[in-house]
Structure 1
Amino acid sequence: MTKPRLWITRRLSDATLERAARDYDVAVNHEDTPGSAAELIAASAEFDAIIPCHSEHFTAEAVAQFSDRLKIVANHSVGVDHCDLPALKGRGIAVTNTPDVLSDATAELAMLLMLGAARHAVAGDRIVRTGAWDSWSPAFMVGKQVTGARLGIIGMGRVGRAFAAKARGFGMDVHYFNRTELPDAQAEGATYHQSVESLLKVADFLSLHCPATPETANLMNADRFALLPAGAVVVNTARGALVDEEALLNAITSGHIAAAGLDCFQVEPSGNPAFAAHENIFMLPHIGSATRETRDAMGFRALDNLDAFFAGRTPRDLL
């Protein structure tokens, strides 16, 4: 029996590539560069399936030029804002993602960013690394304490709940906004807010865990930053599109926001060069899911979806 042809657009984990080669006729982009629209269009005529990452953009314009051969796009990501879902579905192309498996890894990174931002990690590292640490006083490098503080979470899905669980280990008072109130068993004592505005007013720390959609674009704008208590810390490990970066810079410059921890940006790769002037902005290059265990799990979840599809079953993560 002829194996389905599969294009893997980026260099996935060794375990993922080994399994894919066993079960599919695979081509891998070992150069590990983002696939362009032209490459996606060409691949649609050569392959039955594609495993892309968030770096490949399935726009309506590109999808309109796809061949009828391509049957499924099995994303190696949870977010699918890089895919025009109506356009893909209109061409009869199945789309899946990889939920569940990266929640803990991303929540761990959110905790790192929150602690690092609150305790001056960027400035402290620079001072020690450059040999500038030549004195001490009780007023030196005083930061914001996490333990016992009120944490606001926007988006109480899998990652948001995993982050809340870790925050409880620090004795944080967890508050959240979600499209719907969680059952008590999932909320685990967290306080529900019916509006973003209500949540922001009590959030000493704010962490974003919602998807990027037209409705959540620039979710955190100047008006909403102003609602946070003075000296709040903002963390974003979800999507850069959620934050109006100019408004965040203004809030940081004014001192209303004490610090920010960011793993994602409006422009990726590269981020926002203006943030570099502020040592109270702790930044990482969108690596929330970057652990060996999670990369294997994401790759296997994408392959599980392909296996089900080509066996005539409904993929577990069909969107």
Structure 2
Amino acid sequence: RVFIALKGIKNLNTVYCFYCLVFGKTKEKPCILDTIGQAGINKCFSSLLTRSNHLCVGSPLKVDRSLLQYLPKLKVVVNGGVGVDHLDIPLINSFGVKVYNTPHVVDNALADIGVNLMLACARKILQGTIYNLFIYHESETLLGSLLGNNVRGTTLGRIGYKVAKRAQSFDMKILYHSRSQRTEEEEKAVGAMYCEKMEELLKKSDFVTVVVNLSPQTQKLIGAKELAVMKPSSTLINIRRGKHHRDVLVDALQRKVIKAAALDVIDPEPLPTHPLLSFPNMIVGTHAVETTWVKVETLAALNDEQPPNEVKIQARPDTHHALHPSRATSNQYWFKVENCRHS
């Protein structure tokens, strides 16, 4: 029996459709947890929890000691996504439970999302739907942007590089800013130019795409100062885990500091009633590209096979050369994803 904890969804039919999408239709109806809160879940379903051997989680679910004590047969916790900053890995491991996430498999999907959001903003697709031009024709309100020769600014990590490849198809110039510079060969492959300072990228770019891991350094990476540097005709796009100053973004859109924004990731999720949702030039995405890969990790673990991506903890090295330091969530530990998938 699989438990899916979802927060903020009132319609149980929606939850059931999500269940079928991930695990397929089954004769046995799933036990769906309504929005009754963590304590209510533990209490109401204690007899069922004791029989569960795997747990599929999203960031709203708090996997703490009180929940783990109800799960004596638990073997694996599978995180539906890349980031594990919401999970207490040492605590979960202390119960003899392994933690897995789903990295890499969403890279292409995220890159697609980034380009889709860019196109939607550039061509004002949502505004066109709202205006319904077949009934009300006011074309001057829907003047879009041509993508050819526009400049796209991005980080150029694993996903950012895939975004750059797609943007190149639209004859766009690529600027990027990252902790480390790509090789000359890699830059030439996508026509990318490195910016030593992020400010330089922000000043020149028509589309600024944020593709970063969540860390103390990247949290709220784009604030009032950064938005003020951007062109009034530019668009901000976020497809990874970086958190934004919501109120600052509202102010920027109201004063037309930037032209538009599109966020596939936002904090909190789902976003409650907020001024951001009222802007026609603002898109809030679903942040749900990784869903189906939860099943891969779960089935492998339950069949005594080695799942592709186990998240392990190590004592955090003192040196700044630590692999993926941005994944650290405290001064004591950093997380390492061991990719066990064999070619």
TM-score range, shorter-chain basis?
0.7 to 0.9
Shift of 1:156: 2.0
Matched AA of 1:301:
V
Name the residue aligned to 2:309.
317
1:51 to 23, 48, 56: 56
Cross-structure match for 1:3: none
Task: Please report how far the alpha carbon of residue 246 of structure 1 lies from its aligned counterpart in structure 2 after TM superposition.
Answer: 1.0
Q: TM-score, normalised by structure 2?
A: 0.71
Aligned to 2:297: 302
Q: Does 2:284 align with 1:283?
A: yes
CA deviation after TM superposition for structure 1 residue 164, in Å: 1.7
- Equivalent residue for 2:233, pick from 231, 234, 249: 231
Query: What are the residue-to-residue correspondences of 1:26-105 with 2, within 5 Å?
Result: 29-31=30-32, 33=34, 36-38=37-39, 39=41, 45-58=50-63, 62=66, 69-105=73-109
Shift of 1:68: 5.6
> What CA distance in whole angstroms lies between the structure 2 residues aligned with 1:242 and 1:230?
22
Structure 1 unaligned regions, length at least 5: 1-5, 22-26
Cα displacement (A) at 1:245: 0.9
Aligned counterpart, 1:256: 257
CA distance in 2, matches of 1:172, 1:271: 35
TM-superposed CA distance for 1:167, in Å, is 0.9
Q: Offset at 1:248? A: 1.0
Is residue 109 of structure 2 the alignment partner of residue 117 of structure 1? no
Distance 2:157 2:310 in 1: 21
5+ residue gaps, structure 2: 6-15, 312-343
- Identity among equivalent positions (%) equals 22
Is the Cα contact below 8 Å between 1:121 and 1:282 reproduced in 2?
A: no
Contact 2:123–2:143 at 8 Å: present in 1 too?
yes
| Deviation (angstroms), 1:243 | 1.0
Tell me how far apart the structure 2 counterparts of residues 280 and 210 of structure 1 sit (CA, whole Å). Answer: 23
Q: 1:17 aligns with which of 20, 23, 33?
A: 23
How far apart are 1:91 and its partner, in Å? Answer: 4.5
Q: What RMSD in Å do the two structures reach over aligned CA positions?
A: 3.4
1:318 deviation in Å?
A: 1.2
The aligned amino acid for 1:316 is: P
TM-score calculated relative to the size of structure 1: 0.76
Structure number with higher relative contact order (C-alpha < 8 Å, ≥ 6 residues apart): 1
Equivalent in 132, 137, 146 of residue 136 of structure 2: 132
The answer on whether the counterparts of 1:234 and 1:260 sit within 8 Å (CA) in structure 2 is: yes
Contact 2:235 2:258 in 1 (8 A): yes
Tell me the SS of whatever aligns to 2:259. strand
- Note closer, same or farther for the CA distance 1:176–1:125 as it changes in structure 2 (3 Å cut): same
Hey, what's the Cα distance between the residues in 1 that align with 2:144 and 2:83? 33
